[in-house]
Amino acid sequence: MTGGAGAGGEAQSGGTNANGGTNANGGTNANGGTGGSGPAPQAALSFTIGSAASPPTGMACPVTQKSYVFGAPKGATPTDPGQSVADGTNEAQVACSVTGTGPYQFSGSIHGLSSEGAPIDIKFDAGAVAADFTGTVNVSVYTADVLGQLKSVTPCTLNVIGQQIKPGSLWATFTCPQISTPPSTLCAILAPSAIVFENCTDR
C-alpha cells in the first residue's frame, strides 16, 4: 500500500497490503531488514497516554488522555496498518528487530515527529511473543506533554493482529497499565494503541 505524504514524512511503500497485513510481496521480504543491502526499517504507530487506574497518593499523569500518531500520514491502528515512515525520512529514526519463528523476540525504537508536529521518542525492549500471538514488552516513551521519559513499571501487554508477525516484521496492539517517571508522574498507555515495524533485522 502506498501512503500519501503527511506530517510523518513523504509517502512510503510499506509491506502492508489491502488485506491489512505484511506479506512476502511487501516491503518486508526475504531480502529485507538484514543489513545495508535491504530496504530501510520503517514503522507506523499510534498510542494514547492517559491516567493510570488508582494511582498512589502524590502521583498523577500530566495529561488526562492524549493520542499521538506517527505515519505517512496514517499511523497504525488495530484495524489498519497505516502508512509506514522509513528510517531517514524527514530526519525520522527507526530501528527494529523481529526474530524467531514462534516464539518470537523483538525490539524497536522510533524518534520523529507526530502528525501534529510534536517530537516523540518511543522504545520497545525485551519483546516476547508466544506461539499464541500474545506477549509482553517493556516500553519507554517521551513526549513534551509528559515532561520527561516514562518507563513501564511492569511489562506491557502485546497482542499480534491477525497473526501478522514473522522474522523482520510485526503488527500488534499494546497497552501499559503503568508508565512512570518517579517520584510524581504515573500514566498509562491506553487502548487503542498499535505498532507496525517492517524491514527489521530478522536474525
Of residues 18, 15, 17, the one with CA closest to residue 33: 15
pLDDT at position 16: 42
CA dihedral 133, 137, 142, 145 (to 10 degrees): 60
pLDDT at position 182: 87
pLDDT at position 10: 40
Q: Where are the domains of the chain?
A: 42-198
How confident is the chain (203 residues) per 10-residue block, as mean pLDDT?
39 42 40 60 97 91 94 96 96 97 96 94 98 97 91 96 97 97 93 97 90
> Using CA atoms, how far apart are residues 43 and 133, in angstroms rounded to an integer?
20
pLDDT at position 9: 40
